[in-house]
């Protein structure tokens, strides 16, 4: 499965305060249209989040998160065919989502906020994304510190019964990191393959791109494309993006060069 091509995860923010300006809280019709559009464009899966993770966001309790998420997930599992990932770091939300039809959990705290998410994933036999995150941007040594944290997250998941093949790691671009940290992670992204798990990278529209290009979130598509192409060259297996149509094109061209992928009917 891994290594033949890059998988594209489309972002659906069921929030009123997304940093990227694409939050769709309360607009179920718009959420369905976006999900169907992502599916038609060729996304491999979608990632639905009901709590913003932007800097300075207001955390939600599990009940409030479920209140936002439930009608969306209940509807999407009926209308789209591609797998649905749920972006949550709370085990009650994760457990409900998996029972309701979600195929994967994306934990932005890598089990550091709620280790029981690993038990929920293990019970459901579901893949689990473990992202590096921390409350400050202070490191003794950036990559070794991140590797150590991700290794601890992976061990927690394994000990809870999550099979190794169901664990996906994410370096956490933009989470507990400065712009310089994020750029260093990209320069050294290939080193993350030493952790022995598939790699998910999500830099879409993020503030580091804005800092470099001096552009607002809705004008960062070219910057995002650069991060996607470079991530693929470094071995990323999944990219998490807002601009699905454009990034699928970037992925396919990058895959053709890096991984030898060819479109159906290719004659050379």
| Residues taking part in catalysis | 206, 240
d(CA 259, CA 254): 8
How would you classify the pairing of strands 45-49 and 84-87?
Answer: parallel
| Residues β-bridged to residue 46 | 10, 84
DSSP-derived secondary structure for 121-149: HHHHT--EEEE---SS---SSHHHHHHHH
| Residues β-bridged to residue 240 | 9
Q: Which two tokens stand for residue 58?
A: 């207001």
Length of the chain: 268
Nearest CA to 148 out of 128, 167, 171, 174 is that of 171
Phi and psi, residue 215, nearest 5°: -135, 150
Q: Which two tokens stand for residue 222?
A: 């070219």
d(CA 209, CA 212): 5
| Residues β-bridged to residue 66 | none
């Amino acid at each position: 499965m891994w290594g033949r091509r890059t998988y594209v995860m489309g972002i659906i923010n069921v929030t009123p305060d997304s940093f990227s300006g694409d939050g769709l809280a309360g607009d179920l019709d718009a959420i369905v249209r976006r999900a169907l559009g992502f599916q038609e464009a060729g996304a491999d899966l979608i990632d639905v989040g009901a709590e913003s993770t932007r800097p300075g966001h207001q955390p939600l309790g599990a009940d409030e998160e479920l209140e936002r998420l439930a009608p969306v997930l209940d509807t999407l599992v009926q209308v789209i065919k591609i797998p649905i990932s749920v972006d949550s770091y709370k085990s009650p939300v994760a457990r409900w989502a998996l029972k309701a039809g979600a195929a994967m959990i994306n934990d932005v705290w890598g089990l550091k906020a709620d280790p029981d998410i690993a038990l929920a994933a293990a019970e459901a036999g579901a893949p689990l994304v473990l992202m590096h995150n921390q409350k400050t941007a202070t490191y003794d040594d950036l990559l070794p510190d991140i590797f150590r944290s991700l290794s601890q997250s992976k061990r927690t998941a394994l000990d809870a019964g999550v099979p190794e093949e169901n664990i996906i790691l994410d370096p956490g671009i933009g989470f507990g990191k400065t712009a310089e940290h994020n750029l260093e992670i990209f320069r050294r992204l290939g080193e993350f393959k030493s952790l022995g798990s598939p790699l998910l990278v999500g830099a879409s529209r993020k503030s580091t791109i804005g800092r470099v290009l001096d552009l607002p979130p809705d004008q960062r598509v070219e910057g995002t494309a650069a991060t996607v192409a470079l991530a693929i060259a470094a071995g990323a297996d999944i990219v998490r993006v807002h601009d699905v149509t454009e990034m699928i094109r970037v992925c396919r061209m990058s895959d053709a060069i890096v991984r030898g992928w060819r479109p159906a009917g290719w004659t050379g």
